[in-house]
Amino acid sequence: MTDLAPEPGPRTEPDPRAEAGSRVEVGPRAEPELRAGLEAILLVVDEPVAEVTLAQVLERPVQEVGRAIRELSAEYTGAGRGFDLREVAGGWRFYTRAECAPLVERFVRDGQQTRLTQAALETLAVVAYRQPVSRARVAAIRGVNSDGVMRTLMTRGLVEEAGTEPESQAVLYRTSSYFLERMGLRELDELPELAPFLPDDMESLEEQK
């Protein structure tokens, strides 16, 4: 007796239409809303970003971006966050709120604060208020050679070259945008008036030098 194998049934192919029907149609990915986009970009920048640049990246009108970023800044301040959004050196960037600075310094430097020396501060002040200025002029005002200090300030990015003097061809120096950023200024016009801090005979002393 021979066993008869069952006859194979009709072969069926998968219905491509059924498969297609089971797929979930995914539409275009939604762009993040403006405020979220601004926060995401400003969170990763290492220098202030201008409103026009943010507007180009986010493909929004500059006025709309400016309004949104100021609303965010006011919102952070009102909520008392540990950071704030400031307009500095022609752009916007997140900064640690002033009240929290000691905590951040303790965390980052373990209590060791890197400060400019008195000589560096004096030289930086001369450059800031007399720029563009040559090294010889800085030395004349301070009464001591300032070449080493100037190199330090340039290394730290606070001072940069600004061309040469027409007559002597001496290199001129000015403060950088990083200086404005570190000082929390938008422009040099916001530097405090120096006259109240100078002795009455300062002008005559400079003329004698």
pLDDT reported for residue 25: 46
pLDDT reported for residue 144: 85
pLDDT reported for residue 31: 57
Residue 132: asked if its preceding bond is cis (omega within 30°), the reply is yes
pLDDT reported for residue 118: 87
Which amino acid is it at 127?
V
Rg of the chain over all Cα atoms, to the nearest angstrom: 31
pLDDT reported for residue 194: 67
CA distance 111 to 77: 27
pLDDT reported for residue 205: 42
CB atoms within 10 A of CB 162: 16
Reduced to 3 states (helix: H, G, I; strand: E, B; else coil), residue 186 is coil
Q: What is the mean pLDDT of each run of 10 residues along the chain (209 residues)?
A: 49 47 45 87 89 95 95 94 91 91 73 70 91 90 86 89 86 92 87 64 47
Is-contact 93 51, C-beta < 8 A?
no
Is-contact 131 97, C-beta < 8 A?
no
pTM: 0.50
CB atoms within 10 A of CB 128: 20
pLDDT reported for residue 186: 87
Is-contact 131 173, C-beta < 8 A?
yes
